[in-house]
Structure formats: structure tokens, C-alpha cells
Structure 1
């Protein structure tokens, strides 16, 4: 289940579909024609060592993306993982350099008025990364941490995830530094309408199809879609994640969380194991985490934790379906913090401003946000004899922590396998 195997699959799949000048040049190389000339054109000729050539590429990408740590981390992860491919032929470094540069970066102002009549300004983004395989496809994230680096890292990852589906989907991502937390329903509506008024000129069912992400659930997708219809006078599939009443798909909400568990179940099956009675630590309490926990409970897993940005709740005997329904109501209907769950349980504990990785477990499911598992957290998972980490969020494990977990042969299931097309 090593991540690199699936990167290889993507890489060759990507090459097979490339229809631009780069692929035509590489095609000549594969036939043994003009190899030296083509390699020189893409900057990878000569007798330099592979490490030297990789460093040259790394330095070029860093120089173009200064002050973008999240994107550079995602790039570094892919660069390192594909080293065996580059050993076969370093011309593929040129392909990665091509992929790493987005086709288009869109940034726009999002003005809106809050309930006090105050004029507010947020920044919106859409990074249309690659349309080689099809229309851009990727979610929208509304969170105060959003900046260009975050959106670029998400868009870059999306290329790989979408390619693994074998469907005709390119990669993209968007969002805003708007914080939905603490906003009224009316303020959410106003922001979504303003955001779509700016975004609508860049998207379409054959061009770019956004979806949800952190801070953008079914409610927000509905408001965005309503504004798109109003502006374009068109009822088309320009957003995924809509309610089934206006063109959405059945089980769309559950798909990602369920998919993570189905994959984990099959990994364990190959080891003659199952999810039954496995102690599971889960971070997050959004859409992915909620339905992941629902399916874990159904499969007999013992889910000990869930969390939000304020802290985590610990249920020593594992959550029941009824208790999970309270959490769903707290997060989806009342829009409150997860500590409110304590009102419904006499056995639960709440740990403010902490992450759940100190809780002993068999399986860990990071489903919150990027870099939530750092070196210290990796040490805790190892100390507590965790057997497998299954990613349910975008780049939730820092690259140093990932190396540490793999070094001890802990089973590590990468997001790109689990969230294909998400």
C-alpha cells in the first residue's frame, strides 16, 4: 500500500493523456529520436546526479513560490515520492515541473454587508491547476486560514486525486478567508451570493466544477448554486454537493467518509483483520468525520474521539449511533462547538485546545485539516502502539511526521487513494 506505487500510476496515466507540446517532445524521446535535443530543451540534460537535478527543480519551484509553505510542502512530498520514477529517466522531472505550475490563478475581492450594516471585505480565490484530463474539478474552502498557498496546495493535490478515478476531470481548488463560524444565516447568504457573483464568470459544467470543503457544506453549496442560477439563468451541473431536491446526488454527503472506511476495511482484510473492536481515534467533526464515524460504528469499530478547532471529546466506551446523532445536530443544525456534546453524555470528557493523538488506539483517522499530525503527535501514536494511520483530510500529516511513521513500518494510507475525485 505504499503511496509511491499510486503516484507512479498517476504519473504514467497523466503522461498517457498529455496532449500538449511537452508530451509530444517526450514521445520523441520514448522512440529514441532527438533525445539529447529534447532533454536539453526541458533542462535535464548532462551528467549531473539525480539528486542535483532534483535540487535544481526544487530551487526553481521555491523561487517561484516564495512564502507559500503549504504548497511547497505538497510539492516536496510528491518530488520525494517520485524519485524512483526519476531514476528510471530524469526527463520526467520536466513533467513534474509542468504539473506544478497552475494554468490559471484567479484572485478577487468579495464585498458583503453584515447584520450590523457594516461593510466587510474578504479575498476569494480559484486556482485552475490542470485541465489536461478534463474540466477543472475541486472544492471551495471558507476558513480564516485560507490564502493563496493553501489553495495552491489543495489544487495541486486535486490533480492527483482526480486522475486516479480514471474519469475526465482536471484539478482545481478555490475558497476564501471568510470565517463562517459565528455568522448568522443571513450573513452566510450574503457572503455566498457575493462570492458567486465574482466566481461565476470563471466556472461552468465544461470548464470548472467546484464542490464543498471546510466551511462549505450543503447549505453553502445551495446558496452558491442559487446565485449562479440567478446570474446565468441556467440550471446545470456547475456545482457538486447540491441537495437532491435541486439536482444533487443521493448519498453524496456520505460518500467521502464511507469511502475512507471501505478502503481501510479492505486494507485490514488483506492482513486477515477487520474493523470490529478496533479502537479508533478520529479528528474533525465535519462532513467527512461524521459519516466516517457512522460507518465505523456500523462496522463494529470503537470510536473514542471527535474534535473541532477548539478541542476534542473523548468517549471511553466509544460513541453510539444515538450519541453521533447529537454531534450531527450540534454541528449541522445548531452550528455550535463540539464541547456542547457533554450535555448528552455522563461519561465523556472534553479537552480544550488539544488534539486527540495522545489517546491510545489501534487506528487513527485524521479528518480535520492540513498538518494536524506533527512530529510530536507521531511520537504519541507510536508510543500508544497505533497500527495504522488512514488520512481523511488534505495533507493532514506533516512530511517529517510521515517519514517517522513509515520508518517504523506503521501502515500509512494516503489521502490520494481515499479521496479520489474529492
Structure 2
């Protein structure tokens, strides 16, 4: 990290104390930008990096709601509108007890560059709450979502800020929030939220897009070495929306996906995960992966302790949460034949793990590139809403495939341009940063 970037980095830490996830996300980008600032002194003159690290707007608000027992509960809501140089703020809402400002800012910062890589006209933002929907009734979730939207509606709009789902926020939660937005504003603005149900403005392929996209990015990486998913032994972490569709897509390409997980533990099934049963367990029955193992029978082994990364794999798809794959896990995976990692979650690999992967010269697809399929398809949903149209599954999936191939090509080409062949981390960071930086220069000091 050169002296100019080091000074900016120190200032980011000073101005944002205690926000360790945000610091980590910023460091990962900073590490790639030395050559860029040397090539583009105009970015330094205009303080582009300093400006890009400071959100345009940070909103924190109280969310009161009443549980089924009649007790008033209080949660905290967030929306960080980070950068709108390329278009309206775009990024998901996360409902999880771990959510605080540092998590939202890390996610929003990543979203700036991820959205730029898609080639779509969308800026970067993120939001959420420390509310935990797990174990809550539909009525409780609805009352929380309605209270959350009662404040959030002031700050969003199809030309301003377009939230979507993330951990803890699926079609159910989006529906409750969209209904409340419609009620408050007396307007049916389909484009104000994405991840909607297909019967009321949602896009086909949107539920599948993040998981599908991660596998499509990994497919492109594997192809650079004359490989494919056929016969690969794949470990997927998580069992939510992203993991479910990553499993399904990898299996459709001939891979043997042998794991899934949640906060209770993980399942190993050597003959391959039954993705339809897993989907029913998680989405319909709202149960745990331990229940999947019980219903599946003796072939599926539930492990309560330890790490899912103790399981041997040739391809790893971390699709759960940030910093789930550390250096200890990376060393073990590398020693047992790992050839590729594609991040389905946001920042699931620690910096130490990423360094090990890169030193070993395996294929490593960072989240801002590999999991960009979700937000790309959200932008396609916005297109359909704006034109009052609905595309077929086949057409939308083709567009997703094109976008992921283009993201891969853009990352690879940019890495080559800066003398870092095969370094998808640098390629993604530089390509995304340069696009946003040029737009910020064009728009002036705003």
C-alpha cells in the first residue's frame, strides 16, 4: 500500500471507529489501487478515493413493533446510501441480529464496485436491521416490516434508492414492505423494491440469480484452465437462497455437491445433496439442516461441531456469511486438492485466506464479481418494471449468463492490463473503481 493510500486508509479508520468489517472491505480495495492512482493522477487531485469511502448519506432509525404477546419491541434500522455516480442507490436489506452500522457500510462499499462491474446504471447502497425474523410468526414479521417501511419510505424511490433482499429478507418480507410503501404513498411503483414475487412485478430468475451467477463465474474461471464442473467435488456453505441455487446450478453442470450448512451445523452427503428436499426443508417447513439429514436418511450425516471447510473439495462455494472461511480452513482445503473458490456470499473469505489462495495460484473469484448476478438481475427486474413488461425465464437467464461472462472477461482483462494475470481480486477492484471514479470526475465535486 503506497503512502497516499496508507494515509487515506488511516483516515478511514479514524473516522469510522470500531467498524471492523468496513475497514476490511476498504483495505481489500485499497490493496489493488496503487497502480491505478499512479496511472490516473487526476483521481488523486480530485480526492476520488477519499470521497468514495464516505457515504453520501447514512440513515439510522428506530423501529418499534408489537409481538404476538402484545409486548412492544424495539429494533434499529439502517440505510447507507453510499454512491450514486452511476445511478440510483441499489443494494439489499439484511435482517439479522449481527447487523450494525459497520456491517451495513461494508456491504454498501462492496456494492459500489459490484454494481459497477455489472455494466448496469446503478449506484451502491445497503441497509437492514438487527431484527431477527427466525422464529417469528408471519404476523410479527409483517408488523416489523410495516414499521420499518414507515421510516424507510421517505428515503427510497425508483430514481433514488432501490432496496432488495439479503439475509433474512426474502419474498415474504419484500411483499410486506412493498405493500406498506404502496399504502403510504398511494402509488404502485413496482421499481422501488426488487426481489418481488413474480405475480406482482418480480422477475423470473431473480431468486436463482446470485447462486446461479456464482457458479457461472466459476465456470468461466475453470474454462481458462481447460476445466469444467463435470466431476468436481463441490462444498457449498449455507442453505439459504444463494446456497440452494448454487447447489442446483453446479449439479446441473455435472458437479457432485456434497454439503450444506446453517448456524446449527453442516451436512455431508457423499452421494450429493437432494436440493429439492433441502429447498422444502428451508423455504416451506422453515427447519434446519439437521432436519434435512433426519428426513434424508442414513446417507446424510449432520455434524454439529467443527467447520464445513473440514470437508475435502476441489471447488468451494462459500455462500453463507462474511469471514466464514479463514486461513486455517484455506490451508486445509489447499492441502487436499482445492482448485477454485467462487464467493457466493459477501466477503466470506478472510484476508489471510485470500492471500493463501492467491499465493497457491488457484482460481479465486471475489464476491464483488462472483456474486454480482443477484444485483444484475435486480437491475433487469427494474427494466421490466419500467417498461411494464415481463420476460421469460429463458430470456432472463440468457441475459444473466451474458452479464456474468462479461464480468469475468472484464476482471481478467483488467488484471492483464495492470500486469496481474489471473488476479481476479485486483481485476474486479480496479475495473469497478475506475468506472465509478470516471463518473465522479464527470459529475464534479458533489
TM-score (norm 1): 0.85
Corresponding residue for 2:321?
Answer: 369
1:234-274 alpha-carbon deviations (Å, 9 max, x no partner) = 11111000001111111211111111112211221221111
1:368-419 alpha-carbon deviations (Å, 9 max, x no partner) = 0010111111112112221111110101111121112111112111111123
Q: Aligned with 1:300: secondary structure?
A: coil
1:162 equivalent among 115, 119, 123: 115
Corresponding residue for 1:273?
Answer: 227
Equivalent-residue separation in structure 2 for 1:214 and 1:108 (angstroms): 20
The answer to whether the aligner puts 1:105 opposite 2:58 as a matched pair is yes
The answer to whether the aligner puts 1:79 opposite 2:79 as a matched pair is no
2:306 equivalent among 351, 354, 359: 354
1:130-186 alpha-carbon deviations (Å, 9 max, x no partner) = 111111100000000000000000000000011112221111000000011111111
Corresponding residue for 1:328?
Answer: 279
Equivalent-residue separation in structure 2 for 1:165 and 1:312 (angstroms): 32
1:320-349 alpha-carbon deviations (Å, 9 max, x no partner) = xxx211111111111111110122222111
Corresponding residue for 2:103?
Answer: 150
1:212-233 alpha-carbon deviations (Å, 9 max, x no partner) = 0000011111111111111111
More RCO (CA 8 Å, sep 6+): 2
Deviation at 1:83, TM superposition (A): 2.0
1:338 equivalent among 282, 285, 289: 289
The answer to whether the aligner puts 1:179 opposite 2:132 as a matched pair is yes
2:341 equivalent among 372, 389, 399: 389
Equivalent-residue separation in structure 2 for 1:245 and 1:353 (angstroms): 41
Count matched residues.
Answer: 370
TM-score (norm 2): 0.81
Stretches of structure 2 that go unaligned for 5 or more consecutive residues are 376-446
Q: Aligned with 1:81: secondary structure?
A: coil
Q: Aligned with 1:198: secondary structure?
A: helix
Instruction: Give the greater-gyration-radius structure (CA).
Output: 1
Q: Aligned with 2:31: secondary structure?
A: helix
The answer to whether the aligner puts 1:193 opposite 2:146 as a matched pair is yes
Q: Do the aligned residues in 2 keep the contact of 1:307 with 1:355 (CA within 8 Å)?
A: no
Equivalent-residue separation in structure 2 for 1:398 and 1:367 (angstroms): 14
Q: Do the aligned residues in 1 keep the contact of 2:218 with 2:340 (CA within 8 Å)?
A: no
Corresponding residue for 2:442?
Answer: none
Q: Aligned with 1:200: secondary structure?
A: helix
Stretches of structure 1 that go unaligned for 5 or more consecutive residues are 1-49
Corresponding residue for 2:5?
Answer: 54
Equivalent-residue separation in structure 2 for 1:191 and 1:152 (angstroms): 22
Deviation at 1:86, TM superposition (A): 2.7
Q: 1:185 to 1:354 in 2, by over 3 A?
A: farther
2:180 equivalent among 227, 231, 243: 227
Q: Do the aligned residues in 1 keep the contact of 2:259 with 2:269 (CA within 8 Å)?
A: yes
Q: 1:354 to 1:188 in 2, by over 3 A?
A: farther
Structural RMSD (CA): 1.3
| Superposition pairs of residues 300-339 of structure 1, within 5 angstroms | 300-319=254-273, 323-339=274-290
Equivalent-residue separation in structure 2 for 1:55 and 1:265 (angstroms): 36
Equivalent-residue separation in structure 2 for 1:101 and 1:334 (angstroms): 42
Corresponding residue for 1:378?
Answer: 330
Deviation at 1:90, TM superposition (A): 5.3
Q: 1:353 to 1:223 in 2, by over 3 A?
A: farther
Corresponding residue for 2:205?
Answer: 251
1:49-74 alpha-carbon deviations (Å, 9 max, x no partner) = x7222221111111101000000000
Q: Aligned with 1:377: secondary structure?
A: helix
Equivalent-residue separation in structure 2 for 1:227 and 1:261 (angstroms): 35
Corresponding residue for 2:364?
Answer: 412
Equivalent-residue separation in structure 2 for 1:349 and 1:419 (angstroms): 28
Equivalent-residue separation in structure 2 for 1:54 and 1:345 (angstroms): 54
